[in-house]
Structure 1
Amino acid sequence: MADQDYKKIGQEIIDKIGKDNIQSITHCATRLRVEVYDRQRIDDDEIEKIDEVKGVFFNAGQYQVILGTGIVDKVYKAIVEEDHTMEEKEAEVDKVKEEHNPIKKGVRTLADVFVTIIPGIAATGLFLGLQGVLLNEDVLSFFGTTQDAIPDAVMLLLDVLTDTVFSFLPALICWSAFKKFGGTPIVGFVIGLMLVSPLLPNAYEVADASSNVEAVMAFGFIPITGYQGSVLTALVIGYLGSKLEIATRKVCHKL
């Protein structure tokens, strides 16, 4: 699809919603998210007739137009390039979010952190499903083989495809949290990698009594292990780390 087509789609969406009806505009992985002044002015049927629009719904004060992964980025880019006043409306999104109740704001913040890593998790889920099918005893017997006959190199590659995202999940969460809360994403990624550093005892192995792997004791009483599979710890570290970075930047600029 040509850039001109994305501009046409974006302009049609803006026209149907009403430019003067838009309070703010942004997007997530699949949806164009528009804060509007008057929901009743929008004709859902008309918007759903626009090319590439797969559906619409209204939630938490936002009118959301479903366009799909990849398409929404290009449509949003076309909108702000065509009309720079939309960039100013996008910059106001955080202010609008503050007006919502704390629960909705918290849920939306979590969604913003995790939505950027969902494609990686979804792809891994597909690989897990494929692995389950390929290694199924009935499927293997149909081809006259068994799991033991599969080369170790192939099994290793399958494990890489299905385990990598979950092994480094804290790093991905820290990266996304830093990006969301205003820090430098690569700094968040490095901190996340530290949480699952191979120099630390693997959390899964420590939990396995038969592995004989023990946590490192700091100061004789603080157990230290890796944070494999830990979501909450990575999220908290990402939030605190980004805020610390922002505060440090402000101090450094004054020196």
Structure 2
Amino acid sequence: MDIRQTAEQIVEAVGGKENIGAATHCVTRLRFALNDENQVNKEKLENIDAVKGSFSTNGQFQVVIGQGLVDKVYNELVEAAGIGKATKEDIKNAAEQKLNPIQRAVKTLADIFIPILPAIVTAGLLMGINNILTGPGIFYEGKSFVDVNTAWKDLADMINVIANTAFAFLPGLIGWSAVKKFGGNPLLGIVLGLMLVHPSLLNAWDYGKALEAGKVPHWNLFGLQIEKIGYQGQVLPVLLASYVLAKIEVFLNKKVPDAFKLLIVAPIALLVTGFLSFIVIGPITFGIANFLTDGLVSIFDNFAALGGLIYGGLYALLVVTGMHHTFLAVDLQLIGSKGGTFLWPMLALSNIAQGSAALAIMFISKDEKVKGLSFTSAVSAYLGITEPALFGVNLRFRYPFICAIIGSAIAGVFITINKVKASSIGVGGVPGFLSIFPDKWAPFFIGMAIAIVIPFVLTYLFAKVKKAK
């Protein structure tokens, strides 16, 4: 492959040098901030050998190239287009100007949670290993592996400590990312998040029992009773507190002379935000979060099949629009408040369904490029990364995308009525079973079989009928 020629072809297909405001890349994709996306010739673009697909989301036009190759293409593209190298932040800022308020809100949540995703997914995988070692009935009837092989017990306990750290100190991770996003000092965000889960506070998971027993500790601030509770596993309190902290810090940085900033800005910003967090922000958002969580749980408890049908079927559409990142916060809230999430297992099956539909195209198509793209995209989707399958194959031919949605919806109904939950967030594909509570592996594997077979068969049959006509 001539990398230089490929880069020049991409530049021409996206509307030429004049249409490129800025460009950067991630692990697999070129990311453009284009002046006018209507000038993109998608047919010409996707006929380029190196291009596996393209799509527009959150004001960015993205071209799927593939890991490793994308770096080489980007370096040549920068020279071919005569533009300077840009950072992801530059592209985001340029693209954000085109977004409406709802899209900006979704993008803000994505920008906060995506940076902490590696820590959360890693923790989820490790918790999955711990679940295998400690789950009863997996290896021995009625007993766990560590019950029978006691020498492994401390190893499992150590794995659990390592895995649980990201969830136990989740507000610290969110505080770092959120304050950074809102323009403040991320180190103060870490302190704020850890402050909300300080060991001297009543653990949020024990709040219900303490409230029932009338033993909730309080601070007495000159006659004002403030509940002395932490916010373990909570998302909303630290998000709002991070916003307040960042805005106070930004305001003080503008007003305080440089000579006094070290002594005034951070102490005042953290102190004021701390008081507001425990007095106002924490109690209000804690109540809102619990109300929303209880409402969502109630809906899925009473209308499980409908909930599974809607979420299982529509998740792929959320990925297309970029709104799927907002549900990461919901998953984390469910895990923190209820000990598990019933939404994430449907995410894993949706990814598998898109992979199966793409795999069917490999057996149908006579185009060698499409066959190769379909296979690699399917493998990627089975391992949790669906963009190549979604944008490179399924949306390109349309009917595989619809067949995948049908399979995902049916699988979602099945696992939801069987009360399948994940104890953590892991890899959203075939390895996703590691995050599922072991006693629900059987219905999850059946759901996985549905997500593999139905999209594949429907896509294959539809293609045959279509060709027969």
The answer to whether TM tops 0.5 is: yes
**Cα distance in 2 for residues equivalent to 1:202 and 1:59:** 39
**Structure 1 residues 67, 156: closer, same or farther in 2, change over 3 A?**
farther
Q: Is the 8 A contact 1:29 1:69 kept in 2?
A: yes
Q: Give, as a single letter, the amino acid of the residue that structure 2 aligns with 1:117.
A: I
SS in 1 for 2:256: helix
Q: What is the deviation of 1:89?
A: 10
**Cα distance in 2 for residues equivalent to 1:88 and 1:129:** 35
**Structure 1 residues 211, 50: closer, same or farther in 2, change over 3 A?**
farther
Unaligned runs of 5+ in 2: 260-469
Query: What do the CA deviations read for 1:57-116 (whole angstroms, capped 9, x no partner)?
Result: 1134321234678987x5798589866634499647436524421111111111111111
Q: What is the deviation of 1:129?
A: 2.8
Say if 2:84 is the partner of 1:85: yes
User: Could you tell me which residue of structure 1 aligns to residue 63 of structure 2?
Assistant: 65
**Cα distance in 2 for residues equivalent to 1:211 and 1:218:** 19
- Taking the TM superposition and a 5 Å limit, the aligned residue runs for 1:1-255 are 13-14=10-11, 16-17=13-14, 18-25=16-23, 31-44=29-42, 47=45, 49=48, 51=50, 54-66=52-64, 78=75, 85-87=84-86, 91=90, 93-94=92-93, 96-141=95-140, 146-148=145-147, 149-150=149-150, 151-208=152-209, 214-219=215-220, 221-253=225-257
Q: Give, as a single letter, the amino acid of the residue that structure 1 aligns with 2:103.
A: K
SS in 1 for 2:198: coil
Bigger Cα displacement from structure 2, 208-217 vs 119-128: 208-217
Q: Is the 8 A contact 1:24 1:90 kept in 2?
A: no
Query: What do the CA deviations read for 1:201-243 (whole angstroms, capped 9, x no partner)?
Result: 2111223459979433122622121111111111111111111
Q: Is the 8 A contact 1:179 1:185 kept in 2?
A: yes
Bigger Cα displacement from structure 2, 78-87 vs 224-233: 78-87
Q: Is the 8 A contact 1:22 1:35 kept in 2?
A: yes
**Structure 1 residues 204, 67: closer, same or farther in 2, change over 3 A?**
farther
Query: What do the CA deviations read for 1:27-57 (whole angstroms, capped 9, x no partner)?
Result: 6676543222232433446555464x65321
**Structure 1 residues 92, 86: closer, same or farther in 2, change over 3 A?**
same
**Cα distance in 2 for residues equivalent to 1:40 and 1:145:** 59
TM-score after normalising by structure 1: 0.76
Q: What is the deviation of 1:177?
A: 0.9
Q: Is the 8 A contact 1:31 1:64 kept in 2?
A: yes
TM-score after normalising by structure 2: 0.44
Q: Give, as a single letter, the amino acid of the residue that structure 1 aligns with 2:63.
A: V
Bigger Cα displacement from structure 2, 111-120 vs 203-212: 203-212
SS in 1 for 2:33: strand
**Cα distance in 2 for residues equivalent to 1:223 and 1:88:** 44
Q: Is the 8 A contact 1:205 1:211 kept in 2?
A: no
**Structure 1 residues 88, 159: closer, same or farther in 2, change over 3 A?**
closer
SS in 2 for 1:198: coil
**Cα distance in 1 for residues equivalent to 2:24 and 2:253:** 27
Determine which structure has more spread, i.e. the larger CA radius of gyration: 2
**Structure 1 residues 160, 218: closer, same or farther in 2, change over 3 A?**
same
Number of residue pairs aligned between Structure 1 and Structure 2: 247
Q: Which has the higher strand share?
A: 1
Q: Is the 8 A contact 2:175 2:189 kept in 1?
A: yes
Q: Which has the higher helix share?
A: 2
Q: What is the deviation of 1:135?
A: 3.4
Q: Is the 8 A contact 2:197 2:232 kept in 1?
A: yes
**Structure 1 residues 133, 146: closer, same or farther in 2, change over 3 A?**
closer
**Cα distance in 1 for residues equivalent to 2:73 and 2:199:** 40
**Cα distance in 2 for residues equivalent to 1:222 and 1:10:** 61
**Cα distance in 1 for residues equivalent to 2:6 and 2:176:** 32
SS in 2 for 1:116: helix
User: Could you tell me which residue of structure 1 aligns to residue 405 of structure 2?
Assistant: none
**Cα distance in 1 for residues equivalent to 2:88 and 2:160:** 45
SS in 2 for 1:226: coil
Unaligned runs of 5+ in 1: none
SS in 2 for 1:125: helix
